[in-house]
Amino acid sequence: MPMLSSVSKAHIQLLIYALLISTSFPLANFLGSQYSPLLTTWLRFALAALGFVCLLRWQGLLQWPGWQAIGRYSLISLPLTGFFLLMFIAGKSASALAMGSLATLVPLFSALLAWMFWRQSPQPSRLLALVAGALGALWVLTGGKLSQLGQGGWPPGNTHFLMACLLMGIYPLVLKVLHRGESMLKVTGWSLITGTGWLTLAALLWQPPLALPNSAQWMAIIWLAVATTMVTFFLFQSAALVVGGSSANAYSLLTPAFVLLLNLAMGGHSPGWGVLPGLVLTVLALIWLLLQDRAIREEQA
């Protein structure tokens, strides 16, 4: 049996990464309607931060970075923290499929924001692929009836999650400006620690009703902290070293398809064949982006 190449392994890792990330949206829908979004986000960050503290300690990287670095990590964590808080707020009224579809807008938002603030013009072919992926996701969101977007039936959760996606689009730009060459393990760990600090401050200000999660809610929060935060971090980072961050980020276009499959696996309602053209368009957009990135790597080599 032939051995898989490092590139093939990286793409398999990214498929698993995209699948794990997709589980966030059904769980956000489940938790958002049953438990405080602020406490959910705080517990997720606190547990993930504790896990990264253990990893940093094991790697010999756990040391006080200084107040200046803490200030940088706090700024880096702001859009990340806001994204997850808004995701759980959105889960009160937005469906998992709606959030999974809107999440595909994040790479497009990043490209547009980079152009607005740094005049970094994306390649026309790349921009076209991102737009095609976004249109495919919106097709899935509306079941092929894009005219519905302007005819009501847009729950407030969709708007909340759209704001969350805008924050996540800002995140890589903030990271680019404030990163000083540290390992991403260190940056992520301290971002989660400072993010927990932001959420603690928010809890003190808003004082949500304190209540412990029940067993099902605890399982969901622990899954989010471990599988969709810690495991995905290592899958993404190791794969991105092989295929590049651009290709790795493009796998977010698979989110609507994976969320749809998860919904069906859990006995959810089937949206019908009307979503199929949108799913095909998102997959084609992903393939187009991967081919573009491979051509760039070959030119550089």
Biggest CA pair distance of the chain: 59
The more confident residue out of 144 and 70 is 70
Question: Does residue 38 fall inside a structural domain?
Answer: yes
C-beta separation of 168 from 255 below 8 A: no
Question: Does residue 1 fall inside a structural domain?
Answer: no
Torsion of CA 138, 288, 247, 251, to 10 degrees: 30
How does pLDDT run across 175-213, given as a tens digit for each residue? 889 999 899 999 999 999 999 999 999 999 988 888 899
How does pLDDT run across 112-134, given as a tens digit for each residue? 888 888 777 778 898 999 999 98
Mean pLDDT of the chain: 89
Q: Has residue 21 got a pLDDT over 90? A: yes
Question: Does residue 13 fall inside a structural domain?
Answer: yes
Q: What H or E segment, with its residue span, contains residue 71?
A: helix 67-90
**What pLDDT score does 225 carry?**
96
Q: DSSP letter at 147?
A: G
Q: What H or E segment, with its residue span, contains residue 98?
A: helix 96-102
Range of the structural domain that residue 260 is part of: 6-300
How does pLDDT run across 168-184, given as a tens digit for each residue? 999 988 988 999 989 99
Stated pTM of the model: 0.91
Question: Does residue 192 fall inside a structural domain?
Answer: yes
Amino acid at 84: F
C-beta separation of 265 from 23 below 8 A: no
pLDDT confidence band for 1 (50 / 70 / 90):
very low
Distance CA 52, CA 199 (A): 17
The b/e string for 3-33 (b: 16+ C-beta within 10 A; e otherwise) is eeeeeeebbebbeebbbbbbbbbbbbbebbe
**Chain position carrying tokens 């899935």:** 140
**What pLDDT score does 242 carry?**
86
How does pLDDT run across 24-62, given as a tens digit for each residue? 999 999 998 889 999 999 999 999 999 999 999 999 989
Please list, in sequence order, all residues whose beta carbon lies within 8 angstroms of the beta carbon of residue 52, skipping any fewer than 6 positions away.
185, 188, 189, 192, 193, 230
For 32, phi then psi, to 5°, come to -60, -30
The b/e string for 123-143 (b: 16+ C-beta within 10 A; e otherwise) is eeebeebbebbbbbbbbbbbe
The more confident residue out of 236 and 152 is 236
Question: Does residue 287 fall inside a structural domain?
Answer: yes
Question: Does residue 75 fall inside a structural domain?
Answer: yes
What token pair was written down for 84? 């997850």
Question: Does residue 251 fall inside a structural domain?
Answer: yes
Question: Does residue 213 fall inside a structural domain?
Answer: yes
C-beta separation of 74 from 201 below 8 A: no
- Per the structure, the count of domains in the chain is 1
**What pLDDT score does 58 carry?**
94
